[in-house]
Amino acid sequence: MSEDAALGGIMSERRQLINLAYRLLGSLAEAEDAVQETYTRWYAMDPAQQAAIESPGAWLSTVASRVCLDQLRSARARRERYVGEWIPEPLPDPTGDPADRVTLDESVGMAFLVVLESMTPAERVALILHDVFRYPFAEIADITGRTTGACRELASSARRRVRAAQALPTTPAAQRADVVRDFKEAWAAKNIDALIGLLDPDATAIADGGGRSGAILHPIEGAAEIVRNLVILEDRLRDLTILERTVNGQPGLVAQQDGVTVSVYAFDVVGDRIRRIWAVRNPDKLRAWGADGD
């Protein structure tokens, strides 16, 4: 195999690695760093060492998984120092280089990613590698440094967390989109009664400003309190434009001020009511949305 062909084969794995790392870390920026570190380790080997690796793609995925596991362990300490609530980085519809695109499916839905944040690093890695990427438990054991049986139990424990968080029936995509659209229109019209009617009475809203942008530091509970804060936000941010956008593959909203994305909203819709809202306002997590939110 020529050197160019070998390089092309190695770099063709980038999209798979980005998809793996984003699901493991919940941050596109951290995923890109993990993939960069993985390639750095590959190119640190001499040609003879590289040639001895039977499956470079499998080697890269294994190394990327280990890098992510290390990042998850250190991230737990960093997020304890994070200002306010930490929400996974929201993803827009894919654009740009296909090698850098994350495939948008149920495993990157905001509700699922938030559940992953409640898991231990080992649980998260076992669940994602086995249930999403179909790794055998023997390989996961090698990555995590645990036994095959322990990895089975980790994945089982992670599944129980997911089932507990998703106990309510799934709302069809078209119905979710209608609810989010109605919410946008009621917000634009400042129709307080309509907004409250679209929210579950026990709805929760969580905002992530990361200390970089104004955001309430604790979850907001109850439909009326959520709506009150939305109205305050619009009064404080003049000329706020609300746009319908896909967020992590599901119906969401983007708030722009002077053409710049200042907030991205993801929703958990059950039936015809919104149960949870995640508002990401930390500008470090909005870089993928560009200047105009497209």
Taking only the tens place, the pLDDT of each residue in 76-109 is: 767 778 888 999 999 998 766 666 678 778 889 9
pLDDT for res 146: 96
Report the C-alpha gap between 279 and 209 in whole angstroms: 9
Each residue's pLDDT tens digit, 145-159: 999 999 999 999 999
Assign domain 173-289 one CATH number from 3.10.450.50, 3.60.70.12, 2.40.37.10, 3.30.70.260. 3.10.450.50
H-only helix segments in 220-281: 223-236
Calpha distance 206→276 (Å, rounded): 8
Sketch the domain layout of the chain as residue ranges: 1-82, 173-289
Dig out the tokens for 278 from the structure: 């995640």
Measured distance CA(132)–CA(20) in Å, rounded:
9
State pTM to two decimals.
Answer: 0.89
pLDDT of residue 259: 86
49-73, pLDDT tens digit by residue? Answer: 999 999 999 999 999 999 999 999 9
pLDDT at res. 2: 45
pLDDT at residue 236 is higher than 70: no
Q: What share of the chain in percent tops pLDDT 90?
A: 69
What mean pLDDT, rounded, does the chain reach?
A: 89
Give the model's confidence band at 1: pLDDT under 50 very low, under 70 low, under 90 confident, else very high. very low
Q: Which of 6-15, 124-133, 224-233, 254-263 has the lowest mean pLDDT?
A: 6-15
